[in-house]
Structure 1
């Protein structure tokens, strides 16, 4: 009996330790794995992280497990979309999995609503025939995110991105600039918890500069490109906009 109890508690402590340690730097871990996928032309780096996060979700030890699992699956879907051997079917399936994870979370917080809006927005490019329905869902989740916390950088990023990608004939292009500028005025972290997200500021710069370039406002594009590169000097995606100014 003592041996059985010893094995049980040993297993329990292993699961608990894993679920806690797996969230030390989880945001950076996903980011690094995303980059490695492109360097290796292989989805294995993200698949490994996803496997760890799925274990954390099953153990129910960390309330952020589902958020980061969905985040990693969104990145995996983007990899399938943008890799040299793009796979739209795999991208669609993986994005659906991310959306389902987030939709099933009860009493979502501001970050979970913002991430769901992001997933739905990206899904428009995967399934353009569903654009109208998906756009409505994007805006609904953005509003819910901001209602819970109107200082969420990522919610304003999604709001601006949604407007940026909406065709002008459907009312797009009216609030993108103001939403991106608002996002830049806000702190990186919305919820004061160790595992809460901080990502997005570099993407705001990328989207804002892209907006100014589209409007042929090259002076503003240059100003915010320089600001962005000062904060994120190693961001190649942002740096790639330099050739367009």
Structure 2
């Protein structure tokens, strides 16, 4: 029943979201078409140029979109953009800006009323990433909260790959001495088994699957399960032939 309800929800979003944004003043309909790809492209361009201005520009445009009439999907992409902006700032060694951006991203979703499966999954992803900016003493509490948000995402839609990816990712980065590594394989295999989108829609999220392949390959390399690492490397490259994240792992598949 929940999955069926989500199909109806996604269809209704696809049908009514664009008209709902008409009348705002920066070409919102065109701007939000393919918004994830635009953010992702700006992210990689910003890293390449060692300058976050392109990504920051999209964040500012999303702020303008949301200025006159709050829309949950605009808020979602604003949060996603600021999450990527935080990663970008961190790579550029601008840690204060990185910290500010990730907590603003989290705050945007925490305050959102009536969160759906995608909101919970993204919020959990951002909470996991934010652990690097938090005192060690509070990290276990943040971990419990993000796991709870993943469960809420799964309860709303058991086929949301992003929720499983976040669970697998967080477990991957949690040291084994603190209980990490127990569900990495299970959660990432589940994530890659699911569709990025059940219904193609350029306004809705599709992120996570490429990242799940990357972490799964790295997990098998870490555990020296070379045949499995090779298997999922080949599968990942076939599905994402332009993926730098996956292709860069080829050199790690050579057994030492």
Q: Same fold (TM over 0.5)?
A: yes
In structure 2, distance between residues paired with 1:168 and 1:206: 20
Match of 1:98 among 100, 105, 111: 105
Q: TM-score, normalised by structure 2?
A: 0.85
Shift in Å, 1:18? 2.0
Alignment partner of 1:204: what SS? helix
1:7 matched to which residue of 2?
none
Q: Mapping of 1:153-232 within 5 angstroms? A: 153-189=161-197, 194-232=202-240
2:83 matched to which residue of 1?
74
Shift in Å, 1:191? 6.7
In structure 2, distance between residues paired with 1:167 and 1:107: 34
Deviations 1:125-170, CA, capped at 9 Å, x for gaps: 2335232122111111111111111100100000111111222222
Contact between 2:22 and 2:29, CA under 8 Å: does it hold in 1?
A: no
Q: TM-score, normalised by structure 1?
A: 0.89
Higher relative contact order (CA 8 A, sep 6+): 2
The count of residues paired between Structure 1 and Structure 2 equals 232
2:248 matched to which residue of 1?
240
Larger mean CA deviation between 204-213 and 190-199 belongs to 190-199
**Within the alignment, does 1:37 sit opposite 2:41 as a pair?**
no
RMSD between superposed Cα atoms in Å:
1.8
**Structure 1 pair 56/190, CA: closer, same or farther in 2 (3 Å)?**
farther
Contact between 1:189 and 1:197, CA under 8 Å: does it hold in 2?
A: yes
Match of 2:132 among 117, 125, 129: 125
In structure 1, distance between residues paired with 2:23 and 2:42: 24
Which structure 2 residue ranges, 5 or more long, are not aligned?
A: 1-20
In structure 2, distance between residues paired with 1:75 and 1:159: 19
In structure 1, distance between residues paired with 2:200 and 2:239: 22
In structure 1, distance between residues paired with 2:191 and 2:84: 22
In structure 1, distance between residues paired with 2:199 and 2:150: 17
Which structure 1 residue ranges, 5 or more long, are not aligned?
A: 1-11
1:143 matched to which residue of 2?
151
Larger CA Rg, structure 1 vs 2: 1
In structure 1, distance between residues paired with 2:22 and 2:252: 54
Alignment partner of 1:216: what SS? coil
Alignment partner of 1:22: what SS? helix
Larger mean CA deviation between 226-235 and 16-25 belongs to 16-25
